[in-house]
């Protein structure tokens, strides 16, 4: 395989996943619905309930409407790939593994400058809070390491840590000419063209075409659906509705349309509903319940 090939998006993602598998993590299938870059997939969110112990790694495609740049930005994209790692409880030596994972020599990352900056993390719609570190390599933000303290509005105990890598960004750092387009072309020429067109269309769709009133109505429908599922004690469908609601909210925010108290109340409602989901799952998965695939 050529040097460029070795540093392609796919091999970099595989290296990260393999590294965490080597650290005892189970590979989890990605969430099959639309997921915002800052929110959590249902399995991850519910893993924070009760006292479950997990070590998971997932390759997840995410969407970030606020990153819509019509395919013109070298870094910002609506659709991107993340590698997400969730460990609960947090192993003592985890941060050392995280730092080491950023510097695999076979990817040419071991000579890059690494800076770690403190950050307070908050996903308001899910009632998630934590603190941790942002990792910048050669000046580019590539990953975050967050100790989660609160989820769904209640404390996470035992503690959990979520690590998120931006695969494209990390690959950019590893590439010699720092061009995302070149990376995509190396990955596959057709893929690069497709991704450019996709970003242009998605940007136009999200920032211009979607009708704000319809988005608000869709959000309200998802909130109502989540409440109905919760009333039926069905937290997973409820959370799926919440995630769809968050997707609407994210588009509204990206367009600056999420600014009135009415919308703020919708945001608060999302938080309350996700708290309800977590409580429901927490009551079902109490101490000692460690049966799902990938649990330890």
Partner 1 sequence: MSELLLELRSEVLAPEHLACWAGRLKESLVAGFRAADLAPRQSAVGYSGRRLMVLFRGVGEHARNPPSTAEEALDRATEAVRQALDELAEAVAAAGWSLRSGGSRAVSILALLDGRVLPLEWNGVAAGAATVGHRLGPPESLVITDAEEYRRALERSGVEIRFVERRRQLAARIAALLGSADLAIDDDTALLGRLTAECESPVPVLGSFERGHLSSPRELVRAVLRERQLAFTVSRGGRPEARFLAVVDHPEPVPESTLRGHELAVATLLDDLRFHWTRDRALPIAERARRVEAGIVAGGDPLEAGRRGRLRALAAQLCADAGWGAEVAESARAAIDLLDADLDTSLAREFPELVGVIGGLLARVEGHPEAVWHALYDHPLPRRARSTLPRGGAALAVAAALRADQLALDCLSGSIGAGTQATAEDLVRLVMHGGVGCDVDLFAARACRLLEDSRSQEAVRRARSQLAAALTQVLEWEGFSSAEIRAVCAGQGSRLLPDVLARSRGLARLRGSRELSSLVATAKRLAVILDGAVVATVDAGLLIDQAERNLYTQIGETGGAVRRLLAEGRYESWLVEMSRLNDAVERFLSEVLVHDEAERIRANRLALLEAAQQLYSSEVRLAELDG
Kindly state the smallest distance separating residue 199's Cβ from partner 1, in Å.
13
Q: In the complex, what is the shortest distance from the CB of residue 105 to partner 1, in angstroms, rounded to a whole number?
A: 11
Distant-in-sequence, close-in-space partners of 262: CB < 8 Å, separation ≥ 6: none
Closest to partner 1 by CB, 32 vs 208, is: 208
β-partners of residue 119 are: 132
**Pick 29 or 113: Cβ nearer partner 1:** 113
Which one, 26 or 51, has the nearer CB to partner 1?
51
Q: How many CB atoms lie within 10 A of CB 217?
A: 12
C-alpha radius of gyration, the chain, whole number? 19
The nearer residue to partner 1, 178 or 292, going by C-beta atoms, is 178
Neighbours of 287 (CB within 10 A): 8
Q: What gap in Å lies between CA 180 and CA 76, rounded to an integer?
A: 10
Cβ closer to partner 1: 96 or 286? 96
Closest distance between partner 1 and the C-beta of residue 176, in Å?
7
The footprint of partner 1 (CB under 8 A) covers 66, 69, 72-76, 90, 92, 95-96, 99, 111-118, 131-133, 136-141, 145, 147, 159, 161, 172-173, 176-178, 253-254, 256, 259-262, 264
Q: How near is the Cβ of 106 to partner 1 at its closest, in Å?
A: 16
Beta carbon of residue 68, minimum distance to partner 1 (angstroms, whole number): 9
CB of 118 to partner 1, least distance (A): 5
Roughly what angle, to the nearest 10 degrees, separates helices 212-231 and 261-284? 30
Please tell me the distance from the alpha carbon of residue 273 to that of residue 157, in angstroms, as a whole number. 20
Residue 133 CB, shortest distance to partner 1, in Å, is 5
Q: Which CB, 138 or 272, lies closer to partner 1?
A: 138
Cβ closer to partner 1: 204 or 233?
A: 204
């Amino acid at each position: 395989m050529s040097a460029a090939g070795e540093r392609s998006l796919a091999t970099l993602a595989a290296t990260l996943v393999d590294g965490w598998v080597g650290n005892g993590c189970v590979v989890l299938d990605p969430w099959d619905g639309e997921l915002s870059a800052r929110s959590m997939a249902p399995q991850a969110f519910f893993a924070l309930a009760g006292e479950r112990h997990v070590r998971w790694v997932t390759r997840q495609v995410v969407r970030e409407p606020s990153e819509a740049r019509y395919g013109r930005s070298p870094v910002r994209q609506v659709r991107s790939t993340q590698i997400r790692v969730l460990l609960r409880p947090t192993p003592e030596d985890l941060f050392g593994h995280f730092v080491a994972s950023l510097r695999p020599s076979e990817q040419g990352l071991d000579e890059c400058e690494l800076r770690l900056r403190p950050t307070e993390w908050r996903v308001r719609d899910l009632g998630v809070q934590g603190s941790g570190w942002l990792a910048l390599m050669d000046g580019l933000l590539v990953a975050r390491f967050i100790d989660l303290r609160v989820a769904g509005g209640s404390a996470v105990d035992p503690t959990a840590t979520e690590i998120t890598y931006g695969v494209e960004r990390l690959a950019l750092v590893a590439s010699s000419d720092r061009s995302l387009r070149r990376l995509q072309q190396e990955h596959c020429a057709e893929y690069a063209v497709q991704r450019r067109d996709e970003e242009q269309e998605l940007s136009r769709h999200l920032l211009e075409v979607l009708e704000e009133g319809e988005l608000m109505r869709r959000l309200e429908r998802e909130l109502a659906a989540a409440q109905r599922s919760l009333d039926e004690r069905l937290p997973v469908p409820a959370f799926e509705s919440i995630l769809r609601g968050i997707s609407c909210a994210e588009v509204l925010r990206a367009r600056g349309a999420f600014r009135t108290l009415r919308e703020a109340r919708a945001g608060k409602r999302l938080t309350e509903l996700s708290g309800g989901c977590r409580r429901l799952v927490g009551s079902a998965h109490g101490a000692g319940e460690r049966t799902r695939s990938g649990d330890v």
